[in-house]
Amino acid sequence: MSKPRVTWSLDRGRTAIVVVDMQKVFCEFDGALYVPATETIIAPIAALLECARAVEVPIIYLRHVVRGDGSDTGRMRDLYPDVDQILARHDPGAEIIGALRPQPGDVVVDKLFYSGFHNTDLDTVLRSRDIDTLIICGTVTNVCCDTTIRDAVHREYKIIALSDANAAMDYPDLGWGAVSAAEVQRVALTTFAYEFGEVATTEGVIARLSGRAG
């Protein structure tokens, strides 16, 4: 079966940027959950945020943080046994990286698992601004970005995933062969485009937001 790719018309009065987990723990070389590909997405995200601020499109940052005392990490701790150390609320690693530091007026939403919507106020933040379209960037593509995208689509948001501003990571061989970040990215972007919404480049979205697109 084949079908046309989705393209949304972008109303910047009803659009928000969602920056997923661009925290030191994932983006800095000595971070406990360092994702090397994040290095390549910082510049496009910075350019997008500069554009968004210029045209007054709201910016929402997600952060994956837990209390640190084990009270809010059940399955997450089963999967990442050291989560209470590495994602603890007051650990410097939980902060957004300096290159993308939130500015006054931006919104930071803390979440305790992969999805930006699960047990957070993200939906309220978006609805109160009458947002219906989300531009998603950040890390990692197939986990926190993907889960947030799925939850957004189920809540009837139109999503645009940025092909060059979502970062994936390599997986070791868990029984089905090692999987490279590039392969994860290829499968995730294809799945987003076929099943969940639009996939676009950062440059293309900046042109549309700033009114320069055809």
- What is the set of active-site residues? 21, 111, 144
Q: Is 191 in the site for a second copy (CB under 8 A)?
A: yes
Binding test (CB under 8 A) with a second copy, winner from 150, 166, 202, 209: 150
Binding flags for a second copy, 42-71, as an x/- string (CB under 8 A):
------------------------------
Tokens 């931006």: give the residue. Answer: 106
Binding test (CB under 8 A) with a second copy, winner from 19, 62, 143, 165: 143
Q: How far is the CB of 36 from a second copy (least distance, A)?
A: 11
Query: Contact region for a second copy (CB under 8 A) — 14-22, 36-44, 102-110, 185-193?
Result: 185-193
Please give the full DSSP string across 119-183, using - where no structure is assigned: TSSHHHHHHHTT--EEEEEEE-IIIIIHHHHHHHHHTT-EEEEEEEEEE---B--SSS--B-HHH
Q: Is 79 in the site for a second copy (CB under 8 A)?
A: yes
Cβ proximity to a second copy, 124 vs 190, nearer residue: 190
* Size of the chain, expressed as the number of residues it contains: 214
Cβ proximity to a second copy, 106 vs 198, nearer residue: 198
Binding test (CB under 8 A) with a second copy, winner from 105, 177, 211, 214: 177
Closest of 212, 167, 203 to residue 185, by C-alpha: 167
